Amino acid sequence: MTRSVIVVGGGISGLTAALRLRADAEVTVLEGAPVIGGKLRTGTLAGVPVDEGAESLMALRPEAVRLAEDVGLGDDLCDPAPAPTTLWSHGALRPLPPGHVMGIPTDPDALAGTGLLSDEAAARLRLDETLPAEPQADDVSVAEYLGGRLGQEAVDRLVEPLLGGVYAGRPDRLSLRAVLPRVAAVAERGEPLLAALREMRTQPGTAAPRAGSPKSGSPRPVPVRSLRGGNGRLPHAVAAASGARILTGTRARELQRTPAGRWRVLAVTGDGPLLLEADAVVLAVPAYEAAELLRPHAPLADADLGAIQHASTAVVTMAFPRTEALVRGQGSAGHGDPLPGGNGFLVPAVDGRALKAATFLSNKWRWQGEAAPDLFLLRTSIGRVAEEHRLAPPDRHLIRTSVRELHEALGPIGEPVAARVRRWERGLPQYGVGHIERIARVREAVGGLPGIALCGAAYDGVGVAACVATGTTAARQLAEG
């Protein structure tokens, strides 16, 4: 049994590992920043809590929601208002028809009249039914596979904005197997895609989220949830429940093996260097930090982790006086249908806008609307991978750009009474082609280092639920020893 463990990184992955190790070990968490939580961060705007990192917790897989329940926050979990996924595309807000899988329309007929695709692109989409489908042996990019089956315009206008929302990534670089595993499974079987996805949706337990499907009267899984008061509460509750010693402002710089086979972590703090020793170490930091710490011990893992690209983004949170355009999320809605209480929109990169997404917090999360009844809270997101130039200007410029583009999307919405910018430099790892094999090599290399475990957003999914799962697995590895 492991007696003492140092967890490097006080984001949700590391804190989950600390919690799950509680019964087996004395745990110390080292967090380089002044506060724990990493990308789960709740700030305050106009006196109201607002999430400046992850604003939704995946609920279709259980780990994040279960963790919240485990640490006593179950009663504070909230569902979003039902609303269709909406794209700001070709100059108007256009809801995606229900039944899509990550933007892939399983029913091409449902696209008619939406203005989302040109007639040629809609016709190209249907070719999927008749195109030969050879089993796909190797991993390829999302764009290579989907472009081949459905056409490039469908990739650019339907799939890219959804992938952009999650990864801030580009379909021509992202791995099909790592980011769209269900689609990759169809590709590997060599079947026409749309029919296979339609079939999957009718099988219990495999349906894609259908938030806000107006036709659906039956209970269906809620795809995401959030915590009343902000998701930033989760890491703090997990830290408290873990009983771990938490050292903030303490950045690990070096990992050393002792002659007795234990591990030493050299850290820097505001008061100078700190040397700690333990039986085991969990590295719960971004890939580029883990790469540096592992360099002397596992050079192969260092190379693979160091090669993972990251996207930088900024989240601009704003409070507006309430206006009809904002509350209804309606604006210049494409084909005349007002959107009932829209939750925001995603933006295809091909339209050349600065905004990647906007989330109408006051509409989406009831608790947030109630917390500031006179205001309308929203956030925009700027920056995809290889779009660093969009983040070069100062904060006030990002706020101005957001307001200008919101005006274009929604019509007159007034000026914000408060705004703040949170920058996430290298905030989202990119799962490039071959990611799954890369991570398998990393795990093999680190498997040769007794007492070292890895967890975090770089490995099996960037979402909070996936990160929580890696934290639990890391704890189990060490406990089983």
Ligand X SMILES: Cc1cc2nc3c(=O)[nH]c(=O)nc-3n(C[C@H](O)[C@H](O)[C@H](O)COP(=O)(O)OP(=O)(O)OC[C@H]3O[C@@H](n4cnc5c(N)ncnc54)[C@H](O)[C@@H]3O)c2cc1C
The smaller minimum CB distance to ligand X, of residues 111 and 180, is found at: 180
The smaller minimum CB distance to ligand X, of residues 159 and 382, is found at: 382
Least distance to ligand X, CB of residue 105, Å: 23
Paired tokens of 466: 């996936």
Cα distances (Å, whole numbers) of residue 225 to 78, 121, 193, 386: 5, 34, 30, 30
Q: Report how far residue 427's alpha carbon sits from residue 52's, in angstroms, rounded to the nearest whole number.
A: 12
Least distance to ligand X, CB of residue 271, Å: 15
Hunting for tokens 């309606």 — which residue is that? 330
The smaller minimum CB distance to ligand X, of residues 10 and 49, is found at: 10
Q: Report how far residue 104's alpha carbon sits from residue 371's, in angstroms, rounded to the nearest whole number.
A: 36
The smaller minimum CB distance to ligand X, of residues 69 and 415, is found at: 69
Least distance to ligand X, CB of residue 363, Å: 16
The smaller minimum CB distance to ligand X, of residues 179 and 194, is found at: 179
Least distance to ligand X, CB of residue 365, Å: 12
Least distance to ligand X, CB of residue 6, Å: 10
Cβ atoms < 10 Å from Cβ of 248: 15
The smaller minimum CB distance to ligand X, of residues 88 and 424, is found at: 424
Name the β-bridge partners of 317.
379, 420
The smaller minimum CB distance to ligand X, of residues 59 and 116, is found at: 59
Least distance to ligand X, CB of residue 478, Å: 17
Using an 8 Å Cβ cutoff, are 32 and 274 in contact? Answer: no
Least distance to ligand X, CB of residue 55, Å: 5
The smaller minimum CB distance to ligand X, of residues 146 and 287, is found at: 287
Least distance to ligand X, CB of residue 467, Å: 4
Among residues 85, 381, 81, 11, the alpha carbon closest in space to that of 226 is found at 81
The smaller minimum CB distance to ligand X, of residues 24 and 51, is found at: 51
Torsion from C-alpha of 24, 28, 32, 37, nearest 10 degrees: 50
Binding site for ligand X (CB under 6 A): 8-14, 30-33, 38-40, 53-58, 251-252, 284-286, 289, 313, 315, 424, 427-428, 456-457, 462-464, 467
The smaller minimum CB distance to ligand X, of residues 13 and 141, is found at: 13
Least distance to ligand X, CB of residue 132, Å: 37
Q: Report how far residue 366's alpha carbon sits from residue 170's, in angstroms, rounded to the nearest whole number.
A: 32
Output the CA angle 98-104-109, nearest 5 degrees. 60
Q: Report how far residue 111's alpha carbon sits from residue 119's, in angstroms, rounded to the nearest whole number.
A: 10
Least distance to ligand X, CB of residue 430, Å: 12
Least distance to ligand X, CB of residue 316, Å: 11
The smaller minimum CB distance to ligand X, of residues 160 and 289, is found at: 289
Query: Who contacts 375 (Cβ-Cβ below 8 Å, separation ≥6)?
Result: 46, 48, 319, 320, 321, 322, 362, 417
